[in-house]
Each structure stands twice: as C-alpha cells, then as structure tokens.
Amino acid sequence: MKLVIGNKNYSSWSLRPWLALKVAGLPFDEVTHDLYRDGALAERLGYGPTGKVPVLLDAGLAIWETPAIAEYLAEIEPSLWPSERAARAVARAVCAEMHAGFTALRTHCPMNLRLRTTAEAHADVAADLVRIEALWADCRSRFGAGGDFLFGAFSHADAFFAPVATRIRSYGLSVSAPAQRYADRLLALPAFLEWEAAAALEPLQR
C-alpha cells in the first residue's frame, strides 16, 4: 500500500490514516506531497478524483476520502474498529461527526503542529469544544475501560481526533482535565511523535 499525504505540519486529514496504519503495524510506503507548491493541484488530481489528500493506493486502486480509507484499512486489520458491535457503531458515529462537523474549530484553529499561541480563539470554537469534551467523556465512560483510548484500545476514532489534540495544544485551548489527559495520551503515541518529528523538518508555510 501507498499513502499519499500532504505536509505533516498542516495536513490533518493525512495524519488520520497514517496514524492508523502505523499503530496497526500495517506496512506501507508514504508518498509525500507538498500542498503549497506550484502545480500541486494538478499533481493531486493525478492521485485521486477530488484533488485532495490523503489517497490510499493499493492493488491498482485509488481510495480517496478518509472515512473510506479507514474502512479499507479495517477490512485488512479489523482491530482498527472496536470488536463489539455497539462500540463499533458509536466509533463510526463519532468519526462521521468529526468528518462532517466541528467547522468552527477546523476553520479558526487549523492544524499547525509547530504553532503555539495563547491568543484567544474565535468565540464559535467554544461550542465545538464543549461537544468534543462530551463526546470523549461519553466514549471513555461507556467503552474505554480496557485502555487509555476512546474505546479502550486504539481505534480509528482516536486517529480521527488526533488532530484535535494538536489544536488544543497549538492554540492553548482550555479543556477539562479528563479531556486534556486524553489529548496528551494521543500526543504521546510513538507514531504521533514520529509524524511530529518529520513535521519539524518541513519548511513553514504560515
């Protein structure tokens, strides 16, 4: 498998399947794509039909859209979803919520791993954080007993929320102690640290 990804400092959607692949121990090659260079869109359109990354290339197939990539990877490594059906359904729901929502957080606090600011975030971000804290607390209390992650063991749900943990750190966003503990746990994953170390070597774009 090959995963086409954008700049590691900025590309939150690329981080998600990359983290899942790494934590699951699935072998893959990464194809790094500079989102900011001249002609980048044309290059991306060579990988997938939307001109966006990530794109997973496998067996002559190009898979675009992160949720579809996540499902493909879970068919190869089922432990990427919780094993119990109810937990799996909720894990898929929270991933869908992340994919479709939290627009204020995504717009006003874009992923920028090397950024550290204490400037006050846009007022609309607070409501997204309230929902994220509730969502994390609900998953942890109902399904998280077996480990440190939303559904106990690491799953796609954690990969989907990893960029949120980076935003909490970059923008100095204030969250509850349990939410902060969970965010810190994501940021301490060896796979995340590997991604972050590579991001530190990239030229800054903003």
List of residues contacting ligand GSH (CB under 6 A): 6, 11-14, 35, 41, 51-54, 65-66, 99
The structure tokens listed for 74 are 């879970």
* Nearer Cβ to ligand GSH (51/172): 51
Burial of 70 (0-12, 13-18, 19+ CB in 10 A): buried
Which regions of the chain does DSSP assign to beta strands (E)? Answer: 2-5, 29-32, 55-58, 61-64
From CA 189, how far away is CA 185, in angstroms rounded?
Answer: 7
- The residue (of 57 and 137) whose beta carbon lies closer to ligand GSH is 57
Sequence-ordered alpha helix ranges (H) in 46-116: 66-76, 85-100, 103-108
Q: Which is nearer to ligand GSH, 68 or 76 (CB)?
A: 68
Minimum Å gap between C-beta 33 and ligand GSH is 8
- To ligand GSH, the closest distance from the beta carbon of 148 in angstroms equals 26
Question: Cβ closer to ligand GSH: 52 or 140?
Answer: 52
Whole-number minimum distance, CB 177 to ligand GSH, in Å? 30
